Amino acid sequence: MSAEMLGDPNKVVPASELRRLTQGSYQQRIAEAATWGQEHWVNARQSVVAVDDASATFCVEGSEGADMFIRVCLEKSDTGKLVETSQKVLEVDVRDKDDLDDYIEAEAIGIVNLWIAGQADKAKSKLKSLVPQVQWTPIRDKADIISNVESVLAAPQPWKTAFTERREQIKALTGSDLTEDRLRPKFRKLYDGTVEDEKLEGFRSLVSEDVQTVIDRYTHLQELTVEAFEDSYPALLEAQTDETDDSAVLELYEGFSRDLLLDFDRIAKQTQIAMRVEDVRSRGRLRDVLAEGIAPYEGASRFVVKVADLLTQAQED
């Protein structure tokens, strides 16, 4: 006899009785919707978010791995089987873990404003929904935060491939060996445990100043690259439409520049998150990670600036 367990392991109730008890209930509708979803999206992860009298809302993994929220209108056929009559993809604000810190910061500011405005109940409600997110936000793990910056700097980007493959040409064009003023690790003794905890505070001012200097250096490179690319873009478009032998090279240059600028944005975002950690050891490691990774960005930025100058000069001539 088919049976299901109750809370007491020594007692069972027939499954037919449970079906009778849940007949017409929302529990039954949820179970039916879940079964329909599993049969409809056989090869995709899916779950039921909500049901009502005429529809069910599902969270479904899309073809590219991103989750979609879909509301499906369902009705029962003469045989009692659920049949889809229509469906609609819903607009839902889905946050990646990488974006969670910015979201939490904005929500926290909103909660403070509600408290100031005397809307305590609304503030408590928003705070209650925010707390579970704070428990797993990446900013709670200092080591992971710095590793995120390190991962962004080491990630294989298209511009890095082109930079490596055409390194000698870029060196010749920019007149640089691409390693001048190269930064070296400076605070390794702080985060490898050599310096005792009670002595760390004595390094705080020096570390904070130095890490900000390196961040400013990245920011300056980004600003130079943005300005050069934007200033030269009209000349770039004109040169590409000439359909000369150089047009293909210029397309590569445009892709290189755009990809480099996107990478600068990624670094700035992760660095901004990392700077919220005030621990001296973490700050020292952040400075060294940024310092060791900056050389190719400096060379790539020089390349974009140089080509931009050549394009601008050619247009003026």
4: confidence class by pLDDT, cuts 50, 70, 90: very low
Mean pLDDT score, 185-209: 90
Which range, 5-9, 27-31, 152-156, 210-214, has the best average confidence (pLDDT)?
210-214
pLDDT at 242 over 60: no
> What is the structure's pLDDT at 203?
92
E strand or H helix at 72 = strand 67-76
pLDDT tens readout for residues 130-142: 665 554 444 446 6
pLDDT at 177 over 80: no
> What is the structure's pLDDT at 317?
60
Who wins on pLDDT, 151 or 126? 151
pLDDT at 65 over 70: no
The pLDDT > 70 percentage for the chain reads 76
Who wins on pLDDT, 192 or 140? 192
Mean pLDDT (the chain, rounded): 79
**The pairing of beta strand 67-76 with beta strand 46-51:** unpaired
Query: Is residue 56 classed as helix, strand or coil in its secondary structure?
Result: strand
How many whole angstroms separate alpha carbon 190 and alpha carbon 207? 10
Query: Is residue 71 classed as helix, strand or coil in its secondary structure?
Result: strand
pLDDT tens readout for residues 250-280: 777 888 888 999 999 999 989 988 888 888 9
Q: What is the secondary structure of 157-195 as a DSSP string?
A: -HHHHHHHHTHHHHHHHHTS-S-TT------HHHHTT-S
How many whole angstroms separate alpha carbon 100 and alpha carbon 118? 27
> What is the structure's pLDDT at 12?
64
Query: Is residue 58 classed as helix, strand or coil in its secondary structure?
Result: strand
Mean pLDDT score, 277-295: 92
19: confidence class by pLDDT, cuts 50, 70, 90: low
Indicate the DSSP class of residue 166: T
> What is the structure's pLDDT at 225?
93
| Per-residue tokens: 251 | 């397309």
Q: Which of 245, 281, 247, 253 is nearest to 143 (CA)?
A: 281
pLDDT tens readout for residues 297-316: 998 998 999 888 888 877 66
pLDDT at 239 over 90: no
* Cβ atoms of residues 230 and 302 within 8 Å: no
Which range, 160-164, 166-170, 211-215, has the best average confidence (pLDDT)?
211-215
Q: Which of 198, 167, 191 is nearest to 302 (CA)?
A: 167
How many whole angstroms separate alpha carbon 228 and alpha carbon 207? 32
